Amino acid sequence: MKLANRYNRVNILTSIVVFAITGLIYYVVIHFILTEKLDRDLVVEENEIRQYVDTYHKLPLPASYLDQKIAYKNLSGHVPEREFLYTRYYNAKEQENEPGRSLITVVYLNGKAVEVTITKSRVESEDLVRIILLITIGITLILLLSLLLINRFVLNRLWRPFYAILNGMKSFEVARMDAIAHEDTRIDEFNELHQSVNAMAERVRRDYKELKSFTDNASHEMMTPLAVINSKLDSLLQTESFTAQQGELLADVYHATGRLSRLHQSLLLLAKIENNLIPDFQEIDLKEMVEVKGRQFQELFEKDGLSLTTDLQVVEIKMSRYLADILLNNLFSNGVRHNITGGYIRVELSSVALIMANSGKPGNIQSKIFDRFSKSADSEGMGLGLAISKQICNLYGFRISYQEENGEHIFAVYFGG
Amino acid sequence: MKILVIEDEPALLESILAYFTGEGNICEHASDFALASEKIAVYSYDCILLDLGLPGGEGLELLTKLKQLKKRDGVLIISARHSLDDKLAGLDLGADDYLVKPFHLSELKARVSAIVRRKNFDGDNVIHFNEMAVDVSAMKVTVKGNLVILTKKEFDLLVYFLSNRNKVVTKNAMAEHLWGDEMDLSDDFDFIYTHVKNLRKKLLEAGAADYLRSVYGIGYKFGDI
């Protein structure tokens, strides 16, 4: 939920509740005041009647005015209490029943109790209350409406610089040098946010550059001696004045330098993936790539008598071609390396996942299979291939999993995470 | 062919020069930016081996210079920098190929030969070796005029051997040349033996002399016995 919406909702809900409560209080208080006034009028009337009776020793004529009516009733026996009450009475002029307020009291005329009912019309006060209520409701509605409009238009405009910064951050790429977009605003918070975001981006870029130059320099400094060793070995090989035993030694040295340079490259690659230093990002036809890989590995399959079965659907995926190649390489070579003679490799590709299953020796796989330098005892590898695969998957939000079922080793890369 | 090696690491430079000299190749060298740019300006070469990160300047600038001089020298970048942008930058600036250190000298030679062949495309694109003729663009091999049918891998292998005539090439280097970096998955290169065996058999059947020799289990040598 957007901040503005959330704020809007709270704001309007609170306003409605507050207006409802104040309206209610308003109504009750005014009603109370008006009733008081009516009651005072009734008491004045009562006093007049009493004075009349005291002075003339007879009851005034029962009169029926527009808004007032007086009625008498002779009492015998039970004498009621003096009380105010709401009643309805018949207004002869208007010829309709109207709400009224009555005072029932008792006067003594020549020792006889007479019940006097004075009734006053409540129509006016009811009308007043109704008008006040209507005005209150009207004001409430106008206020709510203006609140809504303000929130919708003014708040949206107020927040626009914020969304501009947000979009800038979303499309931020560490390798590109452009600053994060900014809309001019007089709001200090947004200006400050923009400054901080740009400062952060600058720091990130600087770190990125440092890291990049570090990896480049490290690679240069470490690869050059290796290149020298390799070239010297190649030169030595041309002298041809060595024995079979020396040849064996040479082969071992070649082997070691090869491993060293591959180890170095793998570690560099890991560092690069982890720090997102591989910018190349494109649409890739994974099906075609898997097929090509299958052909590339043909000799290796044949060597161990492995059979390859594939069930591939066309899948397009967005990632670096370079990393996709490495990922497939690692999965394929893993399948070859940890296989048995005459075994099989099964590849399934769907829009959901890439599944690589291979036959192999059961039960010698550790749980830390995706960790660096974790490898089974009889493995020839460096234990970096799967760590790299996992990093590649992490980078693109894929999920890689491993399981073993009845001597079948299954690696699955789920594209949806 | 005439080659200029621009490399600031003396030991590596020496090995490269030693490997390339002979068989009519002329090799010159430069180990800093100033000398290299001077040589580039004055002479023409079939191929320039260019190391990036030289004392006195950036190797990539030499590429720009070459372009300004409108020279058509082939350029092969040899660099320890492994990053993709460096490769792309180099190739964008007009380099013909990019080889990452450490490399096998035999691989370097094969790549240089390929560049030189491409540059001289309108001239002779056929490698002649005694009774053999290998047409690289048409992927056709004839021995004494007889066509030899080779697979893609066998053909690549033959071209590789021909580029490295009379040199010992290791199985390791052959594997990397033919399959690329995938080979880091296996240290057992026996499957190369099958390809070599088949190539040799086909050449012998077509009437070629036996030019292939196995060297102490680490590699092979192709050339006049």
Q: How far is CA B223 from the centre of its chain?
A: 16
Half-sphere exposure of A45 (CA within 13 A, CB side): 25
Per the CB < 8 Å rule, is B172 touching A216? no
- How far is A327 from A408, CA to CA, in rounded Å? 20
Confirm if A370 and A391 have CB atoms less than 8 A apart: no
Confirm if A374 and A368 have CB atoms less than 8 A apart: yes
Greater model confidence, B149 or B125? B149
- How far is A293 from A289, CA to CA, in rounded Å? 6
Structure tokens, B221: 């040598």
Whether the CB of A256 is below 8 Å from some CB of chain B: the reply is no
Contact partners, residue A73, CB within 8 Å, separation at least 6 = A114, A115, A117
Beta strands in chain B (DSSP E): 2-6, 26-30, 47-51, 74-79, 97-100, 126-129, 132-135, 140-143, 146-148, 168-170, 212-215, 219-222
Confirm if A388 and A273 have CB atoms less than 8 A apart: yes
Overall average pLDDT of the A41-46 stretch: 88
Q: Is A64 a residue whose pLDDT tops 70? A: no
Confirm if B217 and B190 have CB atoms less than 8 A apart: no
Greater model confidence, B79 or A180? B79
HEC string of chain A equals: CCHHHHHHHHHHHHHHHHHHHHHHHHHHHHHHHHHHHHHHHHHHHHHHHHHHHHHHCCCCCCCECCCEEEEEEECCCCCCCCEEEEEEEEECCCCEEEEEEEEEEEEEECCEEEEEEEEEECHHHHHHHHHHHHHHHHHHHHHHHHHHHHHHHHHHHHHHHHHHHHHHHHCCCCCCCCCCCCCCCCCHHHHHHHHHHHHHHHHHHHHHHHHHHHHHHHHHHHHHHHHHHHHHHHHHHHHCCCCHHHHHHHHHHHHHHHHHHHHHHHHHHHHHHHCCCCCCCEEEEHHHHHHHHHHHCHHHHHHCCCEEEEEECCCEEEECHHHHHHHHHHHHHHHHHCCCCCCEEEEEECCCEEEEEEECCCCCCCCCCCCCCCCCCCCCCCCCHHHHHHHHHHHHCCEEEEEEECCEEEEEEECCC
Per the CB < 8 Å rule, is B102 touching A272? no
Per the CB < 8 Å rule, is A240 touching B11? no
Greater model confidence, A147 or A33? A33
pLDDT reported for residue A379: 63
Whether the CB of A329 is below 8 Å from some CB of chain B: the reply is yes
Q: Is A81 a residue whose pLDDT tops 60? A: yes
Task: Note whether ipTM > 0.90 here.
Answer: no
Residue A255: its chain B contacts at CB < 8 A?
A: 172, 187
Structure tokens, A318: 């967005």
Question: CA angle at residue B172 from B168 to B174, to 5 degrees?
Answer: 65
Report DSSP state, residue B181. Answer: G
Overall average pLDDT of the B175-187 stretch: 70
Confirm if A208 and A173 have CB atoms less than 8 A apart: no
Per the CB < 8 Å rule, is A250 touching B218? yes
- How far is A107 from A54, CA to CA, in rounded Å? 10
pLDDT reported for residue B121: 67
- Chain B nearest CA to A196, separation (Å): 30
Q: Is B183 a residue whose pLDDT tops 60? A: no
- How far is A124 from A99, CA to CA, in rounded Å? 10
Per-residue model confidence as pLDDT tens digits over B199-217: 999 999 999 899 998 888 7
Tell me how many residue pairs between chain A and chain B have CB atoms under 8 A apart.
140
When CB atoms are compared, the residue of B82, B103, B168 closest to A219 is: B82
Per-residue model confidence as pLDDT tens digits over A89-117: 777 667 778 888 888 888 888 778 888 88
Whether the CB of A250 is below 8 Å from some CB of chain B: the reply is yes
Residue B103: its chain A contacts at CB < 8 A?
A: 227, 230
Q: Average model confidence (pLDDT) for chain A?
A: 84
Residue B53: its chain A contacts at CB < 8 A?
A: 220
When CB atoms are compared, the residue of B15, B187, B216 closest to A235 is: B15
- Chain B nearest CA to A220, separation (Å): 5
Beta bridge partners of B29: B5
Confirm if A273 and A395 have CB atoms less than 8 A apart: yes
When CB atoms are compared, the residue of B11, B105, B217 closest to A248 is: B217
Residue B215: its chain A contacts at CB < 8 A?
A: 237, 240, 247
Bridge pairing between strands B219-222 and B132-135: unpaired
Confirm if B208 and B132 have CB atoms less than 8 A apart: yes
Taking CA–CA distances from B168, the nearest residue in chain A reads: A238
Residue B102: its chain A contacts at CB < 8 A?
A: 223, 226-227, 229-231, 257, 261
How far lies A129's CA from each of A16, A24, A121, A237, in Å?
20, 11, 14, 112
Taking CA–CA distances from A249, the nearest residue in chain B reads: B218
- Chain B nearest CA to A149, separation (Å): 52
- How far is B45 from B27, CA to CA, in rounded Å? 9
Confirm if A308 and A345 have CB atoms less than 8 A apart: yes
How far lies A391's CA from each of A259, A336, A386, B214, in Å?
21, 21, 8, 42
Per-residue model confidence as pLDDT tens digits over A313-366: 999 998 988 889 889 988 988 888 888 888 999 999 999 999 999 988 776 666
Of all residues in chain B, what percent are helix, strand and coil, respectively (each to 5)?
Answer: 45, 25, 30
When CB atoms are compared, the residue of A228, A244, A255 closest to B9 is: A228
Whether the CB of A240 is below 8 Å from some CB of chain B: the reply is yes
When CB atoms are compared, the residue of A222, A277, A329 closest to B182 is: A329
Q: Is B159 a residue whose pLDDT tops 70? A: yes
- How far is B166 from B24, CA to CA, in rounded Å? 13
- How far is A42 from B99, CA to CA, in rounded Å? 113
Mutation target among A229, A234, A245, A337 for the B interface, most CBs of B within 10 A: A234
Overall average pLDDT of the A372-385 stretch: 70
Q: How confident is the model at residue A272 (pLDDT cuts 50, 70, 90)?
A: confident
pLDDT reported for residue B75: 93
Bridge pairing between strands A112-121 and A96-109: antiparallel
The amino acid at residue A339 is: N
Per the CB < 8 Å rule, is A230 touching B102? yes
The amino acid at residue A182 is: H
Overall average pLDDT of the A134-149 stretch: 86
Greater model confidence, B190 or A72? A72
- How far is A379 from B98, CA to CA, in rounded Å? 32
Residue A256: its chain B contacts at CB < 8 A?
A: none
Whether the CB of A96 is below 8 Å from some CB of chain B: the reply is no
Handedness of CA B137, B143, B148, B153 (dihedral sign): negative
When CB atoms are compared, the residue of A227, A257, A268 closest to B12 is: A227
Whether the CB of A237 is below 8 Å from some CB of chain B: the reply is yes
Confirm if B116 and B1 have CB atoms less than 8 A apart: yes
Most confidently predicted of A86-90, A170-174, B46-50:
B46-50
pLDDT reported for residue B181: 66
- Chain A nearest CA to B103, separation (Å): 6
- Chain A nearest CA to B69, separation (Å): 29
pLDDT reported for residue A211: 82
Confirm if A335 and A385 have CB atoms less than 8 A apart: no
What is this structure's pTM? 0.66
Q: Is B90 a residue whose pLDDT tops 70? A: yes
- Asked if the peptide bond before residue B102 counts as cis, ω within 30 degrees of 0, the response is yes
Overall average pLDDT of the A64-85 stretch: 77
Residue A248: its chain B contacts at CB < 8 A?
A: 216-218
Whether the CB of A212 is below 8 Å from some CB of chain B: the reply is yes
Residue A270: its chain B contacts at CB < 8 A?
A: none
Interface of A with B in 101-140 (CB under 8 A): none
Overall average pLDDT of the A52-78 stretch: 77
